[in-house]
Amino acid sequence: MSEFTVTRALNVPRERVWQVLTQPGHFEDWLPAKSGTAVLDVRTGGSWQAAVISSDGEEIALTGRYDEVSKPGRLVMTVPGDVVTAIVLTAAPDDTTQIAYTFDVDESMQAMVTESVDAVLGRVSKVLAGAA
């Protein structure tokens, strides 16, 4: 396994990105989770949970934990499969945000991880556009 980082730019201030990543209603929108199921205890040592609906209509419970929370710039959390991801938000002078997701994954998984991060950030961007 090796550390692998996917970095992208978002055209909104860092504080707005932080809100979308850490508030239950926004979290449900970009995950996407069943409405009303997200419970986030966004603090170091806290946890998160939400339910998603599979393509077969089955409700699937997802859970994770927050290993490190440093508002508004860093979240280290687990995602399903107990995979740890570090999310770093860096403010740019032009009110944009650089977002970097770092994982410890096998090289063979890097393309899939990149696709997954891009899909998540596509949904995050839609939520950010609606939250404007």
Q: How far apart are CA 75 and CA 100, in angstroms?
A: 10
Number of domains, the chain: 1
pLDDT of residue 1: 78
Element (H, E) at 52: strand 47-53
pTM of structure: 0.90
Parts of the chain with a pLDDT under 70: 131-132
Range of the domain at 121: 2-130
Region label for 82, one of left (φ > 0), alpha (ψ between -120 and 50) or beta (otherwise): left
pLDDT of residue 32: 86
The overall average pLDDT reported for the chain is 93
pLDDT of residue 80: 85
Sequence-distant (6+) residues with CB within 8 A of 5 are 100, 101, 102, 103
**CATH assignment at residue 103:** 3.30.530.20
